[in-house]
Amino acid sequence: MGRVTRRHPVQHLESSTSRRRLETLAVEEPLEIRINGEPLLVTMRTPGDDIDLVHGLLLSESVVRLRSDVAGARYCDGAGRDGRNTYNVLDVRLAGHMMPPLPELRRKVLMTSACGICGTTTIEQVLSASAFRLPAMVTIPPDVVLNAPDQLRSRQRGFDQTGGLHAAGLLSTDGALICVREDVGRHNAVDKVVGWALREERLPLANSILVVSGRASFELTQKAVLAGIPLLAAVSAPSSLAVDLAHQAGLTLVGFVRGQTMNIYTHPERIRNPAVRTSI
């Protein structure tokens, strides 16, 4: 299996001194995904939890909805210069009742780790593709949301070594950390978490919170909606389209969760008894 990190020599400058030293880098490698032996797409990712990644990605692309839609997934033979398997080609076999993806979804393109591979580009398409209705009656204590980034940060082992990995985590509504995944791509980290939940037959994630280490993009919001997650918490800002999608989908979107402060952009009724002071 490919390593998550590797060492690289750098010239380190500090004040008036300079010295050579080894730094730890986050590994970024391509993963070719095949469906029933046919190439679907290539994405860049950090090796590890690839099976989770592919399940989450196929859910976000509306190729599958349940664990039973997938008959199996395995690495294909693919040797590097050293003759060893690169573990960079993964073939997913769909269950017999599943139709293969439409030809237009077979995008044989190299995607960068900063960009997702969502085919859904409009709010209406996301809402129509969602198999789960977000629960309106779920309420979450404010402290659970405020503590979520710290809980996530405590499990970011790859980031501790490299400073170059995003993270996503699932928490229960009472604050218990359930699953954490890291990747060079923030969308991959979320796909790994959601894919894990799909494989564990936990969907819809109606009693869960998704916390991400960076900003909340439209794409990450989409993935939360499709997984049936009622609340998305981000350390940084959301985009305008993420806010629009969250509003229409019924998702509580929270940004700038830092210390004892946060901004609730949509559906604040899920945050239990927040102190409200209007100064606008």
pLDDT at 128: 87
Q: Looking at the annotation, which residues are catalytic? A: 115
pLDDT at 109: 46
Of 69, 57, 66, the residue nearest 95 (C-alpha): 69
Of 228, 237, 231, 245, the residue nearest 263 (C-alpha): 237
pLDDT at 67: 95
Least confident of 36-40, 100-104, 206-210, 242-246: 100-104
Q: How far apart are CA 191 and CA 183, in angstroms?
A: 10
pLDDT at 100: 84
Percent of the chain surpassing pLDDT 90: 74
Q: Which residue has the higher pLDDT, 245 or 86?
A: 245
Q: How far apart are CA 28 and CA 166, in angstroms?
A: 12
Residue 80: pLDDT over 80: no
Mean pLDDT, the chain, as a whole number?
89
| 241-260 pLDDT tens trace | 999 999 999 999 999 999 99
Structure tokens, 234: 């981000």
Instruction: Compute the radius of gyration of the chain from its Cα atoms.
Output: 20
| 134-169 pLDDT tens trace | 988 899 999 999 999 999 999 999 999 999 999 999
Total-model pTM:
0.90
How many CB atoms neighbour CB 3 within 10 A? 10
pLDDT at 1: 44
Find out whether 199 and 178 touch, Cβ atoms under 8 Å. Answer: no
Q: How far apart are CA 52 and CA 14, in angstroms?
A: 41
Per residue, what are the HEC states of the chain?
CCCCEEEEEEEEEECCEEEEEEEEEECCEEEEEEECCEEEEEEEECCCCHHHHHHHHHHHCCCCCCHHHEEEEEECCCECCCCCECCCEEEEEECCCCCCCCHHHCCCCECCCCCCCCCCCCHHHHHHHCCCCCCCCCCECHHHHHHHHHHHHCCCHHHHHHCCCEEEEEEECCCCEEEEEEECCHHHHHHHHHHHHHHCCCCCCCCEEEEECCCECHHHHHHHHHCCCCEEEECCCECHHHHHHHHHHCCEEEEEEECCEEEEEECHHHECCCCCCCCC
Q: How confident is the model over 208-235, as a mean pLDDT?
A: 97
Q: How confident is the model over 108-125, as a mean pLDDT?
A: 60
Strands 177-183 and 70-75: unpaired
Q: Would you place residue 268 in the very low, low, confident or very high pLDDT band (cuts 50, 70, 90)? A: very high
Q: Would you place residue 2 in the very low, low, confident or very high pLDDT band (cuts 50, 70, 90)? A: low
